[in-house]
Chain A
């Protein structure tokens, strides 16, 4: 007896089906770009969304500040002042461009490398550094800045951003949430669940993925069969790929994505293709897993250089402007250095602070035991 459909002559030709499918699929259009690595505009200024020399100078300034914070914090770690630092170098355009698209009432959920976004949200870099010095597990008032605390477990906060956005929609607030994560995070179940929840609830949330090509030592090919931006389509919302080292393009795309979300169209996914020029963190040694030539390739696409070149060549900024920004960056670094080196350790009893909002007898008991234990040494010294 033959099961219907299994006779050789009737078996579907799988390879023919697949090739028919793949020929129908559109070729990836390539990342959206407005400003080339050489500093030239892809379109005429009038056709470049959001093009404004004043704004471009502001982007430049903030990117320089972000790199200055990063360079200083990396140095502080090398000198033993910080326990750890995850450098952002190379990702300034992705962070500054997207952060400038946020309104004050939008709420950002960072990962642990969003020092540039933190800067744009008005978080004092000293407060960010405080976390990596081991003084606190937080560092700032998230509600004051509409900038959540750093989330160190990869991808978890995509769900928090989604839930927050569901709340924004419930209140009809007209604001949006944005979740920052990397290419590695897209392998986490929580990010997939966030996509699901955001899609079915039409939550006003933008998922901003900085695809910096590396998840510590694992190249993006270890995380997915690309292209990454297409993943959103499977969840039922738009996804685009943008040149993450092009601050103009990142800003324009993020602004459009946020507007899409704020106006009740649900979530939006942005893949910003960028590069982590430094190590994953100061505990990492990227020479063990990636070629120097790759770094050189991306250095040529530096997000700050191209803006500087453009501003200078278009006559939109003078040498004095560049010098002023450099001075401001150096002064910021110096302030961070001074404040970090004089930063006091937290009070010992901080261990027991804020474990519960409504108190807990076990915490009270252990706090008292700890205090008595500490006091017992003081007694000995007096004797």
Chain B
């Protein structure tokens, strides 16, 4: 059997291993990815098996990591870069937004940038400041970048394979509080498209859209709602750029209600774009305004407060109640 039970972190590790085996141009680079195997052990054992030439411990300089990855990509390599934590990506933001995202366009298609930037993101692990942020909207806003986030081990395995094969730069957000969640991974079944949303629970009353760490919360909310006789449909968006609006639209046309859930602050978040577009597409179907559940317009709080800050099951169900109240 090709199906195997593994954690999300292990699935990523296996996916990187496969990519390194399949394509000699694939490189893994980042801080502590070598001997240590990464602070979350996602790259464990890779340097030992694939050499320091292909699995490189980088100097502690994020702009340098992404900037040299661009140069390596110009030279035919396919670098998979690790940024150690969400809050550390900003020294590299200039290289990502100003350079990486635009190389293909400014060369009028002559150059491609097959670079994957892996970023463990989100809260819920009791971390110190700058280790719990969700900056995906800041990347989705940039033309030229693809932005994805798996919610489970199987998607983690396959989506990383697809991201590495993409000729465009992909910002790959890994839900760090789900690293240790286990799921069945079938390494033989061809995956669905990297950017297609997945209806992970069928329902009739309200549609919940989430991605990454919040998919599990929404599934739990749907389970709780079912006990009260409410049928919630849950969509795992999987991709924040592009967004699979067709799948969301089809669902909302049936349920007539939509709640978008993410950890990132609500203001100018992915939910705002989804609300605007779905309102336009489904204007005559909607029974209630599209509601959003997410972080507050405040810096991510100290760990002792994160349970209050993060949208949990109750806040999702509260939004469901409000939606049904229209």
**Counting chain A CB atoms within 10 Å of each CB, which of B77, B95, B107, B167 scores highest?**
B107
Q: Is the CB of B70 within 8 A of A356?
A: no
Contact: A163 with B75, CB < 8 Å?
A: yes
Residue of A nearest to B105 (CB): A354
**Cβ-defined contact, B64 with A354, below 8 A:** no
Decide if A167 touches B76 in the complex (CB within 8 Å). yes
Counting residue pairs across A and B whose Cβ atoms lie within 8 Å, the total is 137
Q: Which of B59, B74, B105, B143 contacts A200 (CB 8 A)?
A: B59
Closest B residue to A203 using CB positions: B68
Interface flag for A170 (CB, 8 Å): yes
The distance in angstroms between the C-alpha atoms of A89 and B73, with both chains bound, is 34
A138/B106 contact (C-beta < 8 A), A196-B59, A196-B61 known: yes
> Which chain B residue has the least Cβ–Cβ distance from A354?
B109
8 Å CB contact of A197 from B59, B144, B195: B59
Interface flags for A265-304 (1: CB within 8 Å of B; 0: not) read 0000000000000000000000000000000000000000
Checking B75, B99, B104 against A357 with a beta-carbon cut-off of 8 angstroms, the contacting residue is B104
Residue interface mask A132-171, B partner, CB < 8 A = 1: 0000111001110000110101001011111111111011
**The one of A151, A167, A355 that contacts B75, using a Cβ cutoff of 8 Å:** A167
Inter-chain contact B75/A194, CB cutoff 8 Å: no
A182-222 CB mask vs B (1 if < 8 Å, else 0) is: 00000001100110110010000000000000000000000
Contact of A358 among B91, B106, B166 (CB under 8 A): B166
Q: Find the residue from A138, A141, A159, A362 having the highest chain B CB count within 10 A.
A: A159
Contact of B105 among A166, A196, A353 (CB under 8 A): A353
Chain A minimum-CB-distance residue to B53: A170
The list of the 3 closest CB pairs from A to B, nearest first, reads: A163-B71, A159-B67, A167-B75
Smallest distance from the beta carbon of A289 to chain B beta carbons, Å? 27
- What distance in Å separates the Cβ of B317 from its nearest Cβ neighbour in chain A? 32
B306-317 vs A, Cβ < 8 Å mask (1 yes, 0 no) = 000000000000
Closest residue of chain B to A366 (Cβ to Cβ) is: B143
Provide the residues of chain B in CB contact with A194, threshold 8 Å: 64, 67-68
Chain B residues in the interface with A (C-beta under 8 A): 53, 58-59, 61, 63-64, 66-77, 91, 94-95, 98-99, 102, 104-113, 143-144, 146, 166-168, 195, 241-243
Q: Decide if A361 is an interface residue (CB 8 Å cutoff).
A: yes
Minimal beta-carbon separation of B194 from chain A (angstroms): 9
Provide the residues of chain B in CB contact with A361, threshold 8 Å.
195, 242
Q: Which residues of B contact A362 (CB under 8 A)?
A: 241-243
Question: Taking the complex as formed, is A44 at the interface, i.e. its CB lies under 8 A from any CB of chain B?
Answer: no
- Point out the residues of chain B lying under 8 angstroms from A160, CB to CB: 67-68, 70-71, 74, 99
Main secondary structure of the interface of A (DSSP, over half): helix
A274–B102 Cα distance when bound, in Å, is 32
Given A159-B68, A160-B74, A163-B68, CB of A189 within 8 Å of CB of B111: no
CA distance A363 to B107 in the complex (A): 18
Alpha-carbon distance A213/B63, docked complex (angstroms): 27
Q: Is A159's CB under 8 angstroms from B168's CB?
A: no
A357 — nearest CB in chain B belongs to which residue? Answer: B167
| Residues in A neighbouring B105, C-beta threshold 8 A | 137, 353-355
Contact check, A165 vs B143: say whether CB atoms are below 8 A apart. no
Contact in complex: B67, A356 (CB < 8 Å):
no
13 additional A-B pairs beyond A355-B143, A358-B166, A360-B146, beta carbons within 8 Å, are: A136-B106, A141-B107, A149-B106, A149-B107, A163-B71, A164-B71, A167-B72, A167-B75, A190-B63, A193-B64, A194-B68, A196-B61, A197-B58
Neighbour of A143 across the interface among B110, B113, B144, CB < 8 A: B110
- Chain A residues with a Cβ closer than 8 Å to the other chain, count: 43
Per the bound structure, the CA–CA distance linking A187 and B144 in Å amounts to 28
Tell me the chain A residues, 337-367 only, with Cβ under 8 Å from chain B.
353-358, 360-363
Q: Are A159 and B109 in contact (CB under 8 A)?
A: no
Q: Which residues of A contact B143 (CB under 8 A)?
A: 355, 363
B222 to chain A, nearest CB (A): 27
Find chain A residues with CB under 8 A from B107 CB: 138, 141-142, 149, 354
Give Cα distance in the complex from A142 to B113, angstroms: 14
A164's partner among B53, B63, B74, B94 (CB-CB below 8 A) is: B74
Chain B, Cβ-Cβ closest to A177: B71
Q: How far is the CA of A53 from the CA of B53 in the complex (A)?
A: 45
Cβ-defined contact, B104 with A354, below 8 A: yes
Q: Which residue of A lies closest to B165 (CB)?
A: A358
Per-residue contact bits, chain A 204-246, to B (CB 8 Å; 1 contact, 0 not): 0000000000000000000000000000000000000000000
Interface pair B74/A197, CB less than 8 Å apart: no
Cβ contact within 8 Å between B74 and A148 = yes
Q: In the complex, are the beta carbons of B98 and A142 less than 8 A apart?
A: no
Q: Which residue of A lies closest to B245 (CB)?
A: A361
- The CA-CA distance from A193 to B58 in the complex, in Å, is 11
Contacts A353-B108, A355-B104, A357-B168 hold; do A168 and B75 have CB atoms under 8 A apart?
yes
B26 to chain A, nearest CB (A): 12
- Please report the C-alpha to C-alpha distance between residue A356 and residue B102 in the assembled complex, in whole angstroms: 9
Residue of A nearest to B103 (CB): A149
With a cutoff of 8 Å between Cβ atoms, the chain A residues found around residue B243 in the complex are 362
**Interface contact B168-A356, CB-CB below 8 Å:** yes
Q: Once the chains bind, are A162 and B168 in contact (CB under 8 Å)?
A: no
Interface string of A63-83 (1 = CB under 8 A from B): 000000000000000000000
Tell me if B72 and A356 are in contact (CB < 8 A): no
Contacts of B104 in A (CB 8 A): 354-357
Q: What's the Cα separation between A356 and B195 when bound, in Å?
A: 14
Q: How many angstroms between the C-alpha atoms of A193 and B98 in the bound complex?
A: 17
A-B contact pairs, 10 of them (CB 8 A): A107-B75, A138-B108, A158-B67, A163-B75, A190-B64, A193-B61, A200-B59, A353-B109, A355-B104, A357-B113
Q: Let me know if B108 and A136 touch, CB within 8 A.
A: yes
Contacts known (A357-B167, A363-B143); A165 close to B71, Cβ less than 8 A: yes
- A166 partner residues in chain B, CB cutoff 8 A: 68, 71-72
